[in-house]
Amino acid sequence: MNKRADPLLWARRAWLPGGWQDKVLLRIGADGRWAEIVPGVLTPPQGAEQLGTVLPGLVDAHSHAFQRAFAGLAEQRTSAADTFWSWRDRMYRVALRITPEQLRAIAAQLYIELLQGGYTQVCEFHYLQHAPDGQPYADPLAFSWALADAARDVGIGLTLLPVLYERAGFQQPALRPDQRRFATSAESVWQAVQTIRGRRQPGLDAGIAIHSLRAASPASVQALVQGADGFDGPIHIHVAEQTAEVDDCLAATGQRPIAWLAAQGLLDVRWQLVHATHTVPQEIDAVARSGARIVLCPTTEANLGDGLPDLPGILAQGVPITLGSDSQINRDWREEVRWLEYGQRLIQRQRNTAAAPEAAQPSTAARLWSCVQAGSGHAAGQPAWGLTPGARADALVLNPHAAATLGMPPSHLLDALVFSSPFTAWKAVMVAGRWVLHDGQHPQAAQCAQTFERAMQALWAEG
């Protein structure tokens, strides 16, 4: 019997690690990874699927799937002030009511939307664990399997991050009653990681997460990291998102959050620092020296009034970054990149702040896109990422009829893709060598939307 030939794609233009290349041949291996990528192939080989403009998928490096059920429901104010903390208290309502079955429906809808937004892998910062009374389910990972099943159903890659969450604050040794579904220990988190990895579900991996320094004691943080000695997956943590968190950390430890992590010798290339909104230059220096990465969530940080990160300092130090959809008020990476730049334009009152013409990077979109691509694989525990041999065969095919990119010269195509909006960007999306979106549509979209609507009606029946 003849061996079946590897599938071939031929793209008129593709974004490779060094930028745009023309007439690119891409061969998909039997393992669902890129076996070969060759630019400058003038004629498509026989049997190759011919495509127009192709980009790599992106990792959504910070997601709380259950919060998709809360998106749009916190945009009214009935008190004198509305802050992150008042938003959080209202968000707990859905956290206290949702069932594993409802989470699966909500996650499936979200994951289709993320695929349509150009994400092909999602990192679930997963702290919703127990039954409504705070007791474990018969299967302690019922919520984890709901997320894994949703990801499998719609075809997106998933990195589950069970979260260490054990206290309400630096001076509050226990959880609040409305946090009872979140309780974990260093031991239970590590066991969850092993169990998830042991499932060996295609497209599913696991890392570990620490909710924040305020929500986990120093002893537990150390125990979790020591227990994971030799672990090759990512370690995620919320850090310095709010000024109150920084102030409380200073009062409790004498150090700012990132400075404390660095002083304890914890940071290394596995660490993903989510938000890092309120930092000082010395902390960014420490992150750069350690090899740790930063995950930014611009639309959520804007929606919650968190503040703006030191993007110029992060870029100047060469700290790898990537993006997260976080609270799910936006599910498209182009909007995240726009707000990453627009926040800086507003505060600096300048344009193209992230461009670096002195380093031959005059395009803001290209520089930021390159940065978030470089950070993506590590955030998800992927050994390689992008249109490069050995990386998973994920791809985004640009909609050739998108008005914003019609007639654009190649040198400005990515600029238009990011900064000229809105429009349906992707004609097709591939994950692990399989097309999961066709003509911008997911085959299960209608069914998932109906199930999602029923879950929403059940959750919010009382208004």
Query: Catalytic site residues?
Result: 275, 326
Q: Which helix (H) or strand (E) holds 120?
A: strand 119-126
Contacts 24+ apart (CB under 8 A), 247-251: 248/169, 248/170, 248/171, 248/214, 249/170, 249/213, 249/214, 251/170
SS (H, E, C) 160-211: EEEEECCCCECCECCCCHHHHHHCCCHHHHHHHHHHHHHCCCCCEEECEEEC
Peptide bond into 422 cis (omega under 30): yes
**Dihedral (Cα; 261, 60, 375, 16), 10-degree rounding:** 180
Nearest to 189 by CA among 212, 169, 210, 217: 210
First to last CA, the chain: 63
Is 162 within 8 Å of 136 (Cβ atoms)?
Answer: no
CA-CA distances (angstroms) from residue 123 to 148, 164, 214, 269? 11, 16, 22, 17
